[in-house]
């Protein structure tokens, strides 16, 4: 499949991808699709009468500051728009290819737009689905011989986060303050975290929800997932360690979560589904699926200190190593009747592999600060310092094309002094 828009084979946004986002320039925020170096303006395409009435509602759902109205239409509309876009942008379709005036209206260089948070997020749930990550953390803080809690291999562990502190890539993160307590200290103190960390994750958006009390069966879970983004769930490890007993994460996690601006449709990732790790014991019936739902997505984390000219890669891992899949997460999430809604965001939890350089956070890479990470120029990091920038990238490699996520990046700002 090729487009009349020239897209290099190593570019994140070929015609096989077509991710959705929300952008603005000299006009109010609206919905678009990335294709190569351009944003295809879906609002303008709808205004121009290019859409078949059977594909989307007569109301222009793309004339919005979020994807929610489009997402709420369901999988039939998502598939219809994707099919229409693929046809319109294909090499042999002259409709837009041969109309210079219309092309100028609908195709906007990405360099000329500002990307916004793509979805109005109602709720945010973060899971803990990597066995390698959970085992490493359990080894550090519990028993290396028995690092996993007894329930971990029976269900995707998760907690409810804070949707109001989810930010789009490029929004810098302020170092949080909180209570911490050293092991040998008689009492806690309050101040800036000294254990600021990133977490390499993917996130998925709920497109259509479920009625209260009505679980989503695992074989229909994919029909409710609109697409995926890169996600950095920032963590203050020292605050988290002091506060998490007995109710779990709170201020150590709620201050910031960053996501990439482009939402890659689940259909674009379908060719890259693979078998995941063997699950033992066999999951309970509501978590069993015969379909392969691991995904061959290469991910990397880069770190740039204030003294560095370019970011340096500190970690690389493949998403296929995850023990629990996204459909298992969603099915388990609703198994008690929890109603999910359009725009809800779920994070996978830190993605880590078996190798030391495939660990998805500094807590693991530096092994709780005992083995600092070496950066070019001689700097070392156990945890993030002010001025550090974290960049996460990822994508799937096809035959002569790449389906990528772009990137999610942010810089650490000093704690407030007032």
Per-residue pLDDT tens digits for 207-231: 999 999 999 999 999 999 999 999 9
Collapse the DSSP code of 251 into the 3-class scheme (helix H, G, I; strand E, B; otherwise coil) and give the result.
Answer: coil
C-alpha–C-alpha distance, residues 356 and 290, integer Å: 31
C-alpha–C-alpha distance, residues 80 and 82, integer Å: 5
C-alpha–C-alpha distance, residues 254 and 173, integer Å: 12
Judge whether 133 counts as a catalytic residue.
Answer: yes
Q: Given this model, what pLDDT does residue 52 score? A: 73
pTM here?
0.97
Collapse the DSSP code of 24 into the 3-class scheme (helix H, G, I; strand E, B; otherwise coil) and give the result.
Answer: strand
Question: What's the average model confidence in pLDDT over 44-61?
Answer: 84
- Mean pLDDT, the chain, integer: 96
Single out the residue of 104, 148, 106, 150 nearest to residue 130, CA to CA.
148
Cβ–Cβ under 8 Å, residues 224 and 330:
yes
Tell whether the model's pLDDT for residue 180 goes beyond 90. yes
Topology of domain 124-413, per CATH? Fumarylacetoacetate hydrolase; domain 2 (3.90.850)
Q: Given this model, what pLDDT does residue 48 score? A: 93
Instruction: Delimit the domains of the chain by residue range.
Output: 20-116, 124-413
Per-residue confidence band for 51, with pLDDT thresholds at 50, 70 and 90: confident
pLDDT in tens, 350-395: 999 999 999 999 999 999 999 999 999 999 999 999 999 999 999 9
Tell whether the model's pLDDT for residue 53 goes beyond 80. no
Question: What's the average model confidence in pLDDT over 254-283?
Answer: 98
C-alpha–C-alpha distance, residues 132 and 322, integer Å: 8
Domain 20-116 in CATH: superfamily?
Fumarylacetoacetase, N-terminal domain (2.30.30.230)
| Sign of the four-CA dihedral 325, 331, 333, 336 | negative
Extract the tokens encoding 38.
């351009």
Tell whether the model's pLDDT for residue 196 goes beyond 80. yes
Of residues 46, 76, 132, 133, which has the active-site annotation? Answer: 133
């Amino acid at each position: 499949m090729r487009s009349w828009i020239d897209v290099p084979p190593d570019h994140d946004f070929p015609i096989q991808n077509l991710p959705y986002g929300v952008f603005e320039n000299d006009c109010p925020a609206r919905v678009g699709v990335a294709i190569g170096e351009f944003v295809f303006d879906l609002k303008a395409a709808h205004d121009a009468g290019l859409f078949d009435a059977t594909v989307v509602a007569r109301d222009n759902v793309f004339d919005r500051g979020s994807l929610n109205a489009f997402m709420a239409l369901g999988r039939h509309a998502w598939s219809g728009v994707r099919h229409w876009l693929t046809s319109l942008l294909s090499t042999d379709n002259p409709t837009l290819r041969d109309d210079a005036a219309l092309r100028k209206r609908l195709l906007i260089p990405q360099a000329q737009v500002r990307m916004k948070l793509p979805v109005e997020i109602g709720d945010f749930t973060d899971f803990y689905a990597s066995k390698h990550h959970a085992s490493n953390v359990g080894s550090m803080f519990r028993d290396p011989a028995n690092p996993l809690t007894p329930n971990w291999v029976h269900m995707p562990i998760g907690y409810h986060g804070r949707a109001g502190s989810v930010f789009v890539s490029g929004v810098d993160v302020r170092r949080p303050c909180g209570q911490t307590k050293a092991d040998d200290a008689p009492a806690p103190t309050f101040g800036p975290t000294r254990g600021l960390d990133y977490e390499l994750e993917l996130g998925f958006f709920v497109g259509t929800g479920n009625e209260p009390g009505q679980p989503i069966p695992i074989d229909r879970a994919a029909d409710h997932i609109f697409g995926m983004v890169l996600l950095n769930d920032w963590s203050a490890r020292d605050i988290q360690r002091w506060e998490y007993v007995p109710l779990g994460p709170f201020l150590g996690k709620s201050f910031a979560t960053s996501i990439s601006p482009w939402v890659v449709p689940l259909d674009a990732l379908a060719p890259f589904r693979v078998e995941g790790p063997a699950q033992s014991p066999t999951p309970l019936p509501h978590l069993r699926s015969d379909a392969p739902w691991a995904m061959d997505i290469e991910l990397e984390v880069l770190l740039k200190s204030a003294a560095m000219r370019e970011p340096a890669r500190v970690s690389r891992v493949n998403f296929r190593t995850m023990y629990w899949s996204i459909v298992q997460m969603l099915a388990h999430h609703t198994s008690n009747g929890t109603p999910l809604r359009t725009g809800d965001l779920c994070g996978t939890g830190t993605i880590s592999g078996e190798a030391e350089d495939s660990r998805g956070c500094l807590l693991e890479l530096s092994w709780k600060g005992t083995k600092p990470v070496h950066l070019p120029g001689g700097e070392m990091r156990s945890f993030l310092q002010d001025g550090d920038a974290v960049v996460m990238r990822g994508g799937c490699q096809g035959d002569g094309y790449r389906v990528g996520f772009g990137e999610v990046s942010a810089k650490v700002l000093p704690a407030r002094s007032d």
